[in-house]
Structure 1
Amino acid sequence: MWRRQVFIGAIGILLLGAPARAEDEFLASLRLRGGYDSNVQFSSGHNPVGSAFIATDAALAAGAKDGDSSWAITADGSTTRYANHLLVPATTGKVLLRGSMGDDELRISSVSSITDISTYNLRATDILQVFKVESLQDKVRLFVSAEGGRSTINQTNAIFQDFSPLPLQYWRGAIIPGVSVIRGKAELGVSLNVSARRYTDELDIFGYRRDNERVQPFLFGKYDGDEVTAFASVSQLYARFHDVDFTNVDRTLFEANVGWRPKAVKQLSVDLGAQRRAGETSFPISPITIDTLYTAKAGWQVDPKLLLTALVGYAATEYLDS
């Protein structure tokens, strides 16, 4: 089953809050956004529901550095409300704690995060812990990451015409070794993501076993120029599912982003993005989704506290085995 959506994002006005303090150790911001969303619910029909909206984004950041050690904590939240009162408000929140020690020859870092999302069709919570060790030797970067987390996901579906009475909950772990070569402002590398997911209940509400293992080799590159920044990766996802009704996966995925900040026109910013990735789902008869997204965004900085933006995009979701 496929869901395709074309949306014209808000031509919005962003009011940017100033830092609460001048020091780097603590920053706070409050941002107001407003505009029009042509397809709030990502409808694939001929009459998508559009609405004017207003949103509030709040963020806090604090950090410190002592020699080769540093830490930082960030927290942000967002609420979007629509002029059409039939549309459910969307809320998101995230808390992230980072810490690192060492230098380029040997660096150890840790990232802890908690994320919560509530929209018209998704309720999800994610807790993730990542440890990473990396070393830069003569322009060759070696790294390995270990990840562990617990997630809860609940999506609306056609069977219940609402959210499922029981959300899916699962643990996941991953090991990601890799190597890259740095030349000037460019970097090219390879990595391998080996992961597993184990659900708290052996069978979901429909009797499916959702446990699975995945192997995903990556080829990636990035460029950080004065006016242009770019990142691209391509990977092959191999996933094995424990339920005989779920087909094992062998799919090519990708991600690409390009940003342009011309020095001649400092007010202008242009960002292009494309990605195809595997997504988790609670849809009854699909093990995962393959999500494709293309976006183009342009911004014009009127003054330090006023930014006008326009966004257009295309999104498609493929529910495997449905």
Structure 2
Amino acid sequence: MSMRVARSVFVLFYVLVGALPVIAAEEPAETLASTAVVGLRGGFDSSPTNSKGEKGSPTLTGFASWNYLRGTAQDGYGLDLLLVDTQYDPRQLAASRSHALTLKHTTGISETLSLQSSLAIENEQSWSRRRNALTWRERLNLSLGSFRLFANGEARLAALNERNVFANGDFLPQDENLATLGITPGIAWRQGETEIGVSFTTSSTRFTNGTDYLGMRRDNYRLQPNLFVSTALKGASFEASLSPLQVIFPDREFENEKKLLYTAKLRVPYDWLTLDLSSGRTVEDTTLPFAVINLVTQHEGKLTARFNDTNALSLTVRQKLEDYLGLDATTRTSSIGLDYARGLGNGMTATASAAWRKTKDTGLEAVPAFVVQLGLQKQLDFSEPGKSAKKGG
């Protein structure tokens, strides 16, 4: 993302933050929900880049999150902040980070109609991927008895740069800058704990550089109907969606794609055990040569044993497949891990984890690795429930 765009993002951020107290002063909020988590994890990763013959590195991860809401989810404003930074041996690998800030505001237009607005700023830096994004979303919700009508609008600016790991390549000399506009109308029906709905997304993505470093145009349109369902019964919950995606390249320099995307999540609690199962297939943008779409398929199973109020142990199994369409290259990662958490009181939690993983890139040997970590985190609650009078509808 250019310096001019980055400067505009931060100016807009400060303007919005400065405007929030003014909004609050005009209409006193019902409640103030404000919680934060800060923590530190340290350990060792035997292969942080999943490369053959790589030396292991000590790791130190600092993280912080803050969730703030004044008013209610139907009529109020809030902020979500997430900061994660991981340090490695600087002689081997630069630090990686993931930062995200979302400003939210919901206006209750009437008892049945509301408008949700959000502005999100994201920054992701790792040894193989760099991404900066600014996303503006608007969502209109209308409740009609058991039915819910909604319409989403989204505008996103992003700068993306990926290392070609399959050819041991470096980053591109300059980022690929892309702009996306999308709209999603939909309808849902709810009865008790069950909701069923349909929606349809149309979007257009334009690469502002014109052509990529190979002289190819990556502009595309996407059409995506979506069927979704969620339900709950006796403490168990289930949600799923099914989305046939069509990607059209108007300049015909890439093959059009038709893929079936999906998500599924199941949670089953039983006494002191909880089973979580999830599966999903999504798409991501990529800058790798001859590929615009990265088809990501993930499966995860997690069994958590909560022995008492202070001790919990989790066993997690994961598998992830990244398929760079058009490049005939995939990355498959499998892992299994144990996580132990012990509550120390006063919002403090100590953690210990160990995991083994194996990564296989097309054309390269499979690389096994292990990670061990110890951590400590603190939860803070600044909430002030029920301080102000209820607002009118």
TM range (shorter): 0.7 to 0.9
Deviations 1:238-285 (A, max 9, x none): 1111343300011111111122344x22xx443221111111000011
Match of 2:83 among 77, 83, 99: 77
Deviations 1:160-214 (A, max 9, x none): 7111111111110100000111011011111000000111111111111011111
Q: 1:199 to 1:139 in 2, by over 3 A?
A: same
Does the CA-based 8 Å contact 1:122-1:156 persist in structure 2? yes
**Corresponding residue number in structure 2 for 1:318:** 323
Match of 1:250 among 240, 255, 258: 258
1:154 pairs with 2:167: no
Larger Rg: 2
Q: Distance in 1 between matches of 2:193 and 2:182?
A: 29
Please report how far the alpha carbon of residue 84 of structure 1 lies from its aligned counterpart in structure 2 after TM superposition: 10
Match of 1:29 among 37, 54, 66: 37
**Corresponding residue number in structure 1 for 2:247:** 239
**Aligned to 2:92, what secondary structure does the other structure show?**
coil
**Corresponding residue number in structure 2 for 1:272:** 277
Q: For this pair of structures, how many residues does the alignment match?
A: 295
1:90 pairs with 2:96: yes
Does the CA-based 8 Å contact 1:127-1:149 persist in structure 2? yes
Aligned AA for 1:164?
Answer: L
In terms of mean alpha carbon deviation, does 115-124 or 88-97 score higher? 88-97
**Corresponding residue number in structure 2 for 1:200:** 208
- Alignment of structure 1 residues 159-308 onto 2, 5 Å: 161-225=169-233, 227-262=235-270, 264-265=271-272, 268-300=273-305, 308=313
**Corresponding residue number in structure 2 for 1:64:** 70
**Corresponding residue number in structure 2 for 1:137:** 144
| More helix as a share of residues | 2
Deviations 1:132-167 (A, max 9, x none): 111111211111001001011111015571111111
Please, what TM-score do these two structures have when normalized by structure 1?
Answer: 0.81
**Corresponding residue number in structure 2 for 1:115:** 122
**Aligned to 2:246, what secondary structure does the other structure show?**
strand
Aligned AA for 2:294?
Answer: T
Q: Which runs of 5+ in 2 are unaligned?
A: 1-30, 328-393
**Corresponding residue number in structure 2 for 1:127:** 134
**Corresponding residue number in structure 2 for 1:13:** none
In terms of mean alpha carbon deviation, does 67-76 or 91-100 score higher? 67-76
Q: Distance in 1 between matches of 2:320 and 2:287?
A: 19
Identity %: 25
Deviations 1:291-313 (A, max 9, x none): 11111223445777775443321
In terms of mean alpha carbon deviation, does 224-233 or 283-292 score higher? 224-233
Q: 1:29 to 1:185 in 2, by over 3 A?
A: same
**Aligned to 1:207, what secondary structure does the other structure show?**
coil
Does the CA-based 8 Å contact 2:217-2:253 persist in structure 1? no
Q: Distance in 2 between matches of 1:220 and 1:248?
A: 25
Q: 1:187 to 1:177 in 2, by over 3 A?
A: same
Q: 1:82 to 1:228 in 2, by over 3 A?
A: farther
Does the CA-based 8 Å contact 1:300-1:308 persist in structure 2? yes
Deviations 1:193-236 (A, max 9, x none): 00001111111111110111111000111124562222211111
Please, what TM-score do these two structures have when normalized by structure 2?
Answer: 0.68
In terms of mean alpha carbon deviation, does 98-107 or 243-252 score higher? 98-107
Q: Distance in 2 between matches of 1:301 and 1:51?
A: 32
**Aligned to 1:242, what secondary structure does the other structure show?**
coil
Q: 1:164 to 1:309 in 2, by over 3 A?
A: farther
Q: Distance in 2 between matches of 1:135 and 1:37?
A: 49
Aligned AA for 2:146?
Answer: K
Q: Distance in 2 between matches of 1:300 and 1:82?
A: 32
**Corresponding residue number in structure 1 for 2:105:** 99
Does the CA-based 8 Å contact 1:234-1:252 persist in structure 2? yes
Aligned AA for 2:300?
Answer: T
Q: Distance in 1 between matches of 2:222 and 2:259?
A: 12
**Aligned to 2:143, what secondary structure does the other structure show?**
strand
Does the CA-based 8 Å contact 1:51-1:84 persist in structure 2? no
Q: 1:83 to 1:66 in 2, by over 3 A?
A: closer
